[in-house]
Chain A
């Protein structure tokens, strides 16, 4: 598959490039992820045991306690989190955490479009313009 571009909405500004880590499961930032190691710890999560560090995390939305904002903030500041995040809907905890933690985030990408992205694809995110470029891994 050739390179393609998705347009979404700016949540938290910045540019980043990295490998996609994709899940269809919502992410519980407050307790489902270890902010030191970046490893997803939630029991039964599709990405359980995998690290989000340096990845472009692709997920539907965040859920659970709003304290998760502090987790995202900390991962951003300590660089123990994703380089960027792409989601369907950024609720308040993802939004405020990524703004203060300076992690670029684009939302309002449909479930259908998110499904076109596969783990391992190279992603270039320009959150300021709400632009996501995908270079499918099979094409490299």
Chain B
């Protein structure tokens, strides 16, 4: 592989042993996946949660890196975690529940990562420009940064993004290269989409069919906004390993179908109908009876507009006393929600606006919850797997109305 003088110095140990080890891994990754050279990047995003993924071994590994004096060479934000450090008590936890999370947050922050703890880092200050090379992990953030922003990231694992951040370089491979951004599968959408929940379900259905290929969407009606785009990519990152997609006439590298496919023909054309979406809703509506105990809205984290919408649907009413309702967002957005009185509205209704949290990563089992109702397929999918929950999936209106009734009313 072609290395610059500085990269060679990192690799031969002149920049310290930790940098050498990280560089060795980045160069090996580049060799394995066919990169001709490395590329410097300024924007990174790392998965930093504790449940399942991190553990004592990982924490000790990271603490040792920090002790060796490494620091990261990019603007790197951290993904959502289980702890809301300002409101954990209000949510029913004690600091004892987060000993490992606090250690992990501390070690990541001590090496220079930014404790944004959000899965919508672009709305919290980490927004690269079109065409910029970046190094991001987390399956939902990657399709957005590639497809909607038009920046270029491979689908990194948290560990590889961390190694890359230590040397400030990532291999020039995968979606960093123009040819790998070419659309491969034409997806004709014949279902009408009633909200962000449908965009997320559509993404899930398509991810199952296209696996790791680049889909090109046509026929989306009504036209998606930013949040719909985010949810579409989230669904695909959940069921498939999609890191890039196009929508003809909407996303920046797909002004026309021809542009999306780089002038080539689609390898395959698939169509998605209402039946495909129904199948997704059936899969994720498996909670028995109609009793509700836990509602989680905001996967990925809610935008300010979505929080406004939740308050509109609540319309001054209280949620049922048996139901716990968490509205997830990023800390900067909660600050705005506080200022606008939205936090108070949701509090008065008996719910909570949380910051930093993904409830899948939080110890919610400890609170006695058995099932979760949500508007996000990703939330439902990982609640099954990580928390062993049965789930309910519907529009935000259905979820909030159900929370008020204390019974699932269905769409």
Docked Cα-Cα span, A96 to B61, in Å, equals: 14
Query: A21 contacts the other chain (Cβ, under 8 Å)?
Result: no
Are B57 and A67 in contact (CB-based, < 8 A)? no
Are A70 and B58 in contact (CB-based, < 8 A)? yes
Collect the chain B residues with CB atoms within 8 Å of residue A90's CB. 32
Closest residue of chain A to B173, judged by CB? A92
Of the listed stretches A50-58, A73-81, A112-120, name the one at the interface; the rest are far from the partner chain: A73-81
Collect the chain A residues with CB atoms within 8 Å of residue B156's CB. 66, 92
Closest residue of chain B to A12, judged by CB? B28
Collect the chain B residues with CB atoms within 8 Å of residue A68's CB. 157
Query: B386 contacts the other chain (Cβ, under 8 Å)?
Result: yes
Collect the chain B residues with CB atoms within 8 Å of residue A73's CB. 57-58, 61, 159
Are B53 and A92 in contact (CB-based, < 8 A)? no
Contact with B along A35-73 (1 / 0, CB 8 A): 100000000000000000000000000010111111101
Most chain A C-beta atoms within 10 Å of own C-beta, residue among B29, B47, B52, B156:
B52
Query: B163 contacts the other chain (Cβ, under 8 Å)?
Result: yes
- B residues 20-77 near A (Cβ < 8 Å) are 25, 28-29, 32-33, 47, 52-55, 57-58, 61
Interface size on A, residues (CB 8 A): 26
Contact with B along A1-19 (1 / 0, CB 8 A): 0000000010100000000
Closest residue of chain B to A93, judged by CB? B157
Are A66 and B55 in contact (CB-based, < 8 A)? no
Query: B139 contacts the other chain (Cβ, under 8 Å)?
Result: yes
Contact of A70 among B33, B139, B155, B158 (CB under 8 A): B158
Closest residue of chain A to B33, judged by CB? A92
Closest residue of chain A to B47, judged by CB? A67
Are B139 and A65 in contact (CB-based, < 8 A)? yes
Query: A137 contacts the other chain (Cβ, under 8 Å)?
Result: no
- Asked, given contacts A31-B385, A31-B386, A95-B29, whether A77 binds B157 with beta carbons under 8 Å apart, the answer is no
Query: A104 contacts the other chain (Cβ, under 8 Å)?
Result: no
Are A100 and B57 in contact (CB-based, < 8 A)? no
Are B157 and A74 in contact (CB-based, < 8 A)? no
Are A96 and B163 in contact (CB-based, < 8 A)? yes
Collect the chain A residues with CB atoms within 8 Å of residue B32's CB. 9, 11, 90, 95
Contact of A96 among B55, B157, B386 (CB under 8 A): B157
Contact of B58 among A9, A74, A93 (CB under 8 A): A74
Query: A99 contacts the other chain (Cβ, under 8 Å)?
Result: yes
Docked Cα-Cα span, A30 to B139, in Å, equals: 13
Shortest C-beta distance, A71 to chain B (Å), equals 8
Closest residue of chain A to B24, judged by CB? A99
Query: B137 contacts the other chain (Cβ, under 8 Å)?
Result: yes
Most chain B C-beta atoms within 10 Å of own C-beta, residue among A9, A35, A74, A92:
A92
Contact of A92 among B29, B55, B57, B385 (CB under 8 A): B29
Collect the chain B residues with CB atoms within 8 Å of residue A77's CB. 57, 61
Are A99 and B386 in contact (CB-based, < 8 A)? no
Are A70 and B55 in contact (CB-based, < 8 A)? yes
Contact with A along B145-167 (1 / 0, CB 8 A): 00000000011111110010000
Docked Cα-Cα span, A92 to B163, in Å, equals: 13
Are A96 and B139 in contact (CB-based, < 8 A)? no
Query: A82 contacts the other chain (Cβ, under 8 Å)?
Result: no
- Asked, given contacts A31-B52, A31-B386, whether A66 binds B155 with beta carbons under 8 Å apart, the answer is yes
Closest residue of chain B to A35, judged by CB? B55
Shortest C-beta distance, A29 to chain B (Å), equals 10
Docked Cα-Cα span, A100 to B160, in Å, equals: 10
Shortest C-beta distance, A140 to chain B (Å), equals 34
Collect the chain A residues with CB atoms within 8 Å of residue B139's CB. 65-66
The 8 closest A-B pairs by CB, nearest first: A67-B53, A66-B157, A69-B157, A74-B57, A96-B160, A70-B53, A69-B159, A31-B385
Chain B residues engaging chain A, CB cutoff 8 angstroms: 25, 28-29, 32-33, 47, 52-55, 57-58, 61, 137-139, 154-160, 163, 241, 385-386
A31-B386, A69-B159, A100-B61 are known contacts; what are 5 more A-B pairs with Cβ within 8 Å? Answer: A30-B52, A66-B137, A68-B157, A78-B57, A93-B157
19 inter-chain pairs at a CB distance below 8 angstroms, sorted by A residue, are A9-B32, A31-B52, A31-B386, A35-B55, A65-B53, A65-B139, A66-B139, A66-B156, A66-B157, A68-B157, A70-B159, A77-B57, A78-B57, A92-B29, A95-B29, A96-B29, A96-B159, A96-B163, A100-B159
